[in-house]
Chains A and B, each alone.
Chain A
């Protein structure tokens, strides 16, 4: 317990030291204020963004785009994951391609999606779906393939129907792996949404940051970045907590 406390404290210390260091460097005039803003002024600006409702307005757009994209990614991911598991031949043929695709930044397909879906939210959602679906597909099929053979054997000795085998044995047994995939899909969908918003004009947190960048509002830019990071960290830790609870039971 003592050890964990020390680790936590040192984490906070690292963040504080970095912020103090940044503040000192900028205030001392070592770096131009166009490139970096002192953390204290970014904090004031961030607080302003929260109070003025500007953050909320952009967050609303991002939240809607993210929710739609994540739901689609989840549906497609689980659907195709099960399909690839069920039909190994298709899975075996497609999976390496998917993995290769996963390793490449799918933002490169931006021009294609742009012509297909236009300059608005549809493109944001489409690209986020692509980035978010892949880890879910891969983990769902890997999870199902990794189910202990003894569980299947036990099921057969009890004469399970294929339906029972899937719902009562395969799916629950694969849950931890599937859940990891869903967590990764969650993160990648979020990254996809913010990244494409940054390039487009549909609004959202990404657009908030890119706009401030265009008009040389350095403080505003960093305020936006800080807010996105904070939101991402908060949401991610919630998902992580859920995953840990699942894993704790399964192992």
Chain B
């Protein structure tokens, strides 16, 4: 299997212009990992550990201060056309219908309207939004809007999906169901997915591997394979093996989360 995402010794230090923290903040330190084609990898870490910064660097939205990111063999200087991002907050446009939201990226790429429409209808069907093509986001539920955001990313025919806590704003049950939906879509399309979450349960539910990040400056604390059988169901996710992994990740994260908490209170 070939490697699609290579993160090589990526570091990021922000110059703090307000000067509150004494000059600069080191967000990420020498992060190093790879994701193979078709893999589902999650990044888990405490709040404020720089997960989003890392994903933005991989997505070409931010430049690292050290190291490099290579997607499909090309060094990332700007957003890679074969990598699509999905964000946590409501990023679908309220002034566009579901259909035209999905068409947006293709519109920017100057794809002709007929091809665009057909592609959009196809992906809306794939994410289970058939029948809602002409609805506006305000007429859809939170879960449906995130499906829409995923459909918009899929419309671009990416090889890689970079997802920044896409279900973070949803309630727990919807979140779990959306996870199953994402797995179904992933199995149908075989995209390579890099997924950020702070939910350990979600990371285990979805991933082949979980990378646990530390508190700032963020490093990869441990890489944990999730050998649970697929398709994942309530049964596979409540076994002792699963519980054990969850416990193990918690143990690492607990230390980091406490550090983060102490830091915030110390300020």
**A residues with CB within 8 A of B:** 148, 150-151, 153-154, 156-160, 164, 168-169, 172-173, 175, 249-251
A154 and B108 within 8 A (CB) = no
Measured in the bound complex, the distance between the Cα atoms of B109 and A160 in whole Å is 9
A250 and B94 within 8 A (CB) = yes
Closest-CB distance, A88 to chain B (whole angstroms): 16
Measured in the bound complex, the distance between the Cα atoms of B87 and A154 in whole Å is 8
Chain B: interface size category: 20 to 34
Q: Please name all residues of chain A whose beta carbon is closer than 8 Å to the beta carbon of B78 when the two chains form the complex.
A: 159
Closest-CB distance, B79 to chain A (whole angstroms): 5
Q: B132 an interface residue at 8 Å Cβ cutoff?
A: no
A249 and B61 within 8 A (CB) = no
A160 and B108 within 8 A (CB) = yes
A157 and B94 within 8 A (CB) = no
30 of the cross-chain contacts (CB-CB < 8 Å) are A148-B90, A150-B87, A150-B89, A153-B61, A153-B87, A153-B91, A154-B85, A154-B87, A154-B91, A156-B79, A157-B59, A157-B61, A157-B85, A158-B105, A158-B108, A159-B108, A160-B108, A164-B108, A168-B104, A168-B108, A172-B93, A172-B95, A173-B93, A175-B95, A249-B95, A249-B136, A249-B138, A250-B94, A250-B95, A250-B138
Measured in the bound complex, the distance between the Cα atoms of B104 and A173 in whole Å is 14
* Interchain residue pairs A-B with the least CB separation, the first 4: A157-B85, A172-B95, A150-B91, A150-B89
B79 and A158 within 8 A (CB) = yes
Closest-CB distance, B95 to chain A (whole angstroms): 5
Q: Please name all residues of chain A whose beta carbon is closer than 8 Å to the beta carbon of B94 when the two chains form the complex.
A: 249-251
Q: Please name all residues of chain A whose beta carbon is closer than 8 Å to the beta carbon of B79 when the two chains form the complex.
A: 156-159
Can you name the residue of chain B whose Cβ is closest to the Cβ of A161?
B108
Closest-CB distance, B147 to chain A (whole angstroms): 16
Q: Please name all residues of chain A whose beta carbon is closer than 8 Å to the beta carbon of B108 when the two chains form the complex.
A: 158-160, 164, 168
Measured in the bound complex, the distance between the Cα atoms of B59 and A2 in whole Å is 54
Measured in the bound complex, the distance between the Cα atoms of B108 and A157 in whole Å is 11
Q: Please name all residues of chain B whose beta carbon is closer than 8 Å to the beta carbon of A164 when the two chains form the complex.
A: 108
Q: Please name all residues of chain A whose beta carbon is closer than 8 Å to the beta carbon of B105 when the two chains form the complex.
A: 158
Closest-CB distance, B230 to chain A (whole angstroms): 29
Measured in the bound complex, the distance between the Cα atoms of B61 and A249 in whole Å is 30
Identify which of B60, B95, B138 contacts A173 (C-beta below 8 A).
Answer: B95
Closest-CB distance, A162 to chain B (whole angstroms): 13
Closest-CB distance, A148 to chain B (whole angstroms): 8
Q: Please name all residues of chain A whose beta carbon is closer than 8 Å to the beta carbon of B89 when the two chains form the complex.
A: 148, 150
Measured in the bound complex, the distance between the Cα atoms of B95 and A169 in whole Å is 10
A150 and B90 within 8 A (CB) = yes
Measured in the bound complex, the distance between the Cα atoms of B92 and A52 in whole Å is 56
Measured in the bound complex, the distance between the Cα atoms of B59 and A93 in whole Å is 36
B138 and A251 within 8 A (CB) = yes
